[in-house]
Amino acid sequence: MKRTVKTLVAASLVGGAAATAGAYFGLVNVGADDPHLPAVYAFLSMARDRSIEVRSRDIQVPDLNDQELIRAGAGNYNSMCIGCHLAPGVAATELSQALYPAPPNLAEIGVDGNPAAAFWTIKHGIKATGMPAWGKSMADPYIWGMVAFLQQLPELDTQQYRTLVASSGGHQHGGGESDMHNHENQHGTPGDDHHAGEMAGMSHHDEAADDHHAGEAAGASHHDVAADHHGAELASADHHAGETPGASHHDAQPAAAAPKPATKTHTHADGKEHVHAH
C-alpha cells in the first residue's frame, strides 16, 4: 500500500514536471484556431460548469416575469451581447465564429435552464474565453434584466425581438454606458460584411477601401488611439476599475428609464461628473 502511494506520488511528480517542461518549451499551442484535445476540452468544461454551479447556488432569483425588467434587458442585450451571442434575425458574426470556445447562441438556449447561473456568468464573466465580467460596469438589477430577457428570448421571432428592443430605452445601465456602435443589418451590400463583428465596441472609422477590419474587436492597433481605447474598454474596463467603463469620455446617457437601481453622481479628480448605479 505504502509502496503504491509512493509510486503514484513519484509518477505524478514526473508527469507534472514533464507538463511544465513541455509548456516552457512552447509545446502548448494557445492559438484560438487550434482546438483543445477532447479530454482537455471535457476537463475545462467540467471545471467551468462546476465552478459556476457552486458559486451561483445561493443566489436569490427575483421575479423574472416583470415586464419592465425584460424590456430593459432587451435594450442592453441588443447593444452589448449580439456580436457574440446573436439574436433572432442576427446572423453569425466575425466574433461569434472566431472565438474559441465559441459563444453559445443565446437566441436558442436562453438562460440554459438556470437563471442564477446565467446571472453569475454575466456578472463575473468567464476567464480566457472572451466572456466579459459585466458586473464591472453594471449593477445587479440591470444584469437581472438581461437574465429576464434571455428567459424569453428563445420564444421570440425576429419581429417580436425588434419590437421589444425598440420599446426599451436602448443601452442603459446607470449612466456609464459606452457607445457600442451597433451596425447590425446596416451592411447589407455584398463586400461590406467585414463589419459584421463591429458591435462589440468599436468606433466607426473612415475606412480606406482595402482596410479590412478583422481583429478589430481586440482593440486593433491600426486605428487611432481613441479607437484602440474603445476596443480595450469592452474587454476589461480596467482603466476605470470600479467605475462604469467609458464614463469619463462618453456622454453619459440619462438613467431615466432604468429599471430600479438608485443612481448617484460624483465628481472625479479629472473634474468630470459620473453617474453610478450602486
Which residues of this protein are in contact with ligand HEC, per CB under 6 A? 48, 77, 80-81, 83-85, 95, 99, 101, 103-104, 109, 112, 118, 121-122, 126, 129-132, 134, 146, 200
Write down the residue that cell numbers 435594450 correspond to: 75
Q: Minimum distance from CB of 64 to ligand HEC (Å)?
A: 13
Cα–Cα distances in angstroms (integers) from residue 276 to residues 64, 122, 174, in the given order: 24, 19, 6
Q: Minimum distance from CB of 268 to ligand HEC (Å)?
A: 25
Report the C-alpha gap between 103 and 92 in whole angstroms: 11
Of 77 and 161, nearer to ligand HEC (C-beta) is 77
- Output the nine-digit C-alpha cell for 56: 451561483
What amino acid occupies position 96? S
Report the C-alpha gap between 270 and 186 in whole angstroms: 37
- Output the nine-digit C-alpha cell for 158: 425576429
Of 53 and 273, nearer to ligand HEC (C-beta) is 53
Cα–Cα nearest to 235, from 145, 163, 162, 127 = 127
- Output the nine-digit C-alpha cell for 99: 472565438
Of 123 and 240, nearer to ligand HEC (C-beta) is 123
Of 108 and 273, nearer to ligand HEC (C-beta) is 108
Q: Minimum distance from CB of 139 to ligand HEC (Å)?
A: 13
Q: Minimum distance from CB of 198 to ligand HEC (Å)?
A: 12
At 140, give phi and psi (nearest 5°).
-50, -45
Angle, CA 198 vertex, CA 197 and CA 199 arms, to 5°: 100
Of 26 and 78, nearer to ligand HEC (C-beta) is 78
Of 146 and 202, nearer to ligand HEC (C-beta) is 146
CB 270 within 8 A of CB 197: no
Q: Minimum distance from CB of 100 to ligand HEC (Å)?
A: 8
Q: Minimum distance from CB of 106 to ligand HEC (Å)?
A: 6
Of 7 and 214, nearer to ligand HEC (C-beta) is 214
Of 216 and 255, nearer to ligand HEC (C-beta) is 216
Q: Minimum distance from CB of 46 to ligand HEC (Å)?
A: 11
Q: Minimum distance from CB of 192 to ligand HEC (Å)?
A: 22
Write down the residue that cell numbers 453619459 correspond to: 252
CB 202 within 8 A of CB 181: yes
Cα–Cα distances in angstroms (integers) from residue 208 to residues 5, 68, 94, in the given order: 66, 43, 20
